[in-house]
Amino acid sequence: MPKTARARKKTAAPARRTGARHPQPTTVRIEPARPGDARDYFRLLLTALPDEPLPTPEALLSLPPEQFTHGPALCLVARDTRTGKVVGALIGGVPVWIDENPLTNQFTLPGVLLGALMADRIAGIHAIGVDPDHRKQGIGRALITTAEQHFRDAGFKLSTLNHTPDLTRFYSRLGYHSSPQLIILVPGDHLFGEQAPGYLMAAKPIAPRVEVVMLPQAPGPIASGLFRDCTLPPGARFEDGRLVAP
């Protein structure tokens, strides 16, 4: 079994607040989803993506581990250790926009398409959902940090996701920078921008020497250090929509 596919166990901390207005603490284990979890897994994901077509649940969860827990997909559940019930779900993998953005399949760097290089470095959390009765107990945080560890173990350098503006604080406390546009510094000092209309794009470095930098007047945070010899020079600034090196 490849290293990335090993079941990892992580236990969400029990809630600190246990008054009547707060849910009872739940002890959960974060682990790869099992085929028998399909119904609850997709029900919870649909709370995050009500309009998205999702793959056939049973088929996806029956895939053997490859790049991630289920073929190309990272499918994690938060399981209540007392009842065995699935109370949280996360799906991730390589972000869809890398394949869909026409530029990633046109722009070539010596012998390789930009999209192929990005798909080796940038991972994405497609959706996360926690059962309404189990929210605010650290389960969402545990799912995300476990997903980031899978991404790191598979060699990815940047974790990304899209979210609605109301979740900016939730993701910023987890180390994500959110903005309408994510900018990626690619070889040749080119800047690649990606937007998700109606959503904010969030990114978090998960490897050494990778940074997400806010430059005054830049249209969004710039992910730097993803490619070899490709980092923002100290003192770089943005002027008239262009990156200016000192």
Residues near ligand COA, by CB under 6 A = 47-48, 127-130, 135-141, 163, 167, 169-170, 173
The least distance separating ligand COA from the CB of residue 10, rounded to whole angstroms, comes to: 12
Distance CA 61, CA 91 (A): 11
Residue among 43 and 237 whose Cβ is closer to ligand COA: 43
**Residues paired with 41 in a beta bridge:** none
Distance CA 113, CA 134 (A): 43
Helix ranges, 15-103 (H): 38-48, 57-61, 96-100
Distance CA 200, CA 32 (A): 27
Residue among 70 and 163 whose Cβ is closer to ligand COA: 163
Q: Which residues contact 19 (CB under 8 A, 6 or more apart)?
A: none
Residue among 194 and 236 whose Cβ is closer to ligand COA: 194
Coil, strand, or helix at residue 21? coil
Give the Cβ contact number of residue 191 at 10 Å. Answer: 16
The least distance separating ligand COA from the CB of residue 170, rounded to whole angstroms, comes to: 4
The least distance separating ligand COA from the CB of residue 173, rounded to whole angstroms, comes to: 6
Residue among 136 and 209 whose Cβ is closer to ligand COA: 136
Nearest residue relative to ligand COA (C-beta): 140
The least distance separating ligand COA from the CB of residue 73, rounded to whole angstroms, comes to: 15
The least distance separating ligand COA from the CB of residue 40, rounded to whole angstroms, comes to: 13
The least distance separating ligand COA from the CB of residue 162, rounded to whole angstroms, comes to: 7
Distance CA 214, CA 198 (A): 21
Count, residues in the chain:
246
Residue among 119 and 128 whose Cβ is closer to ligand COA: 128
Residue among 118 and 144 whose Cβ is closer to ligand COA: 144
Radius of gyration of the chain (CA): 19
Distance CA 96, CA 126 (A): 9
The DSSP output letter for 4 is: G
Residue among 21 and 228 whose Cβ is closer to ligand COA: 21
Helix ranges, the chain (H): 38-48, 57-61, 96-100, 114-121, 139-153, 168-172
**Residues paired with 237 in a beta bridge:** 244
The least distance separating ligand COA from the CB of residue 59, rounded to whole angstroms, comes to: 22
